[in-house]
Amino acid sequence: MEKLTEKEKELIRGSWEGLGKNKVPHGIIMFSRLFELDPALLNLFHYSTNCATTQDCLSSPEFLEHVTKVMLVIDAAVSHLDDLHTLEEFLLNLGSKHQAAGVHTQSFALVGESLLYMLQRSLAQGYTAALRQAWLNMYTIIVATMSRGWTKNGERKTD
Ligand code: HEM
């Protein structure tokens, strides 16, 4: 697994301090952006409330739980910046579960774009080029590991 520089870790930790305290509202900004970028992703959430529109999804408790789950994965990564490898098994497994749920790896990149959008909106002046790059590097590590798990699961099925 790739490593982050000390400066990158400092930028990520500093910016997450406030955002991490309000996970759901920030997660909602992210997912609303995600559905703007690719409305077809709404169809992958099959809960008791059907996610036909972003508004439907946002009124589904199960969907909001998924928003929380995503934010908790980010929170775990921020808490383990010095030892991200300890999350490897978890992230491989998570990628494999998303393969089974019909989520394509390209969609993980769109979540990354939505994460940056949320950071830009929430941090305003604090959203610098260095901070953007630090978050992008961390998210790329998460997604690279999830994608490895995704591929492994896909291969297992076509064996
Ligand atoms: C387009 C992107 C994504 C879609 C469509 C998607 C969809 C889903 C679906 C359908 C499930 C199973 C039902 C559920 O638990 O709500 C799930 C589970 C989950 N997702 Fe996602 N997901 C996406 C991205 C992500 C990302 C980027 C993360 C974390 C970085 C993540 C974290 C989780 C977690 C932690 C679970 C629960 C897994 C478990 O049950 O052990 N998801 N996702």
**pLDDT, tens digit, for every residue of 46-67?**
887 778 999 999 989 999 999 9
Superfamily of domain 6-154: Globins (1.10.490.10)
Q: Of 60, 63, 66, which is best to mutate to test ligand 1, by the most ligand atoms within 8 angstroms of its C-beta? A: 66
Cβ count within 10 A of residue 103:
17
Q: What is the pLDDT of residues 118-133, one digit of tens each?
A: 999 999 999 999 999 9
Nearest CA to ligand 1 atom 37: 69
pLDDT band at 152 (very low <50, low <70, confident <90, very high): confident
Where exactly are the structural domains of the chain? 6-154
Q: Determine contact, residues 117/30, Cβ cutoff 8 Å.
A: yes
Q: Of 48, 80, 94, 147, which is best to mutate to test ligand 1, by the most ligand atoms within 8 angstroms of its C-beta? A: 94
Q: What is the pLDDT of residues 19-30, one digit of tens each?
A: 999 999 999 999
Nearest CA to ligand 1 atom 32: 70
Smallest CA-to-CA distance from 126 within 4, 6, 18, 3 is with 18
111 ligand 1 Cβ < 6 A: yes
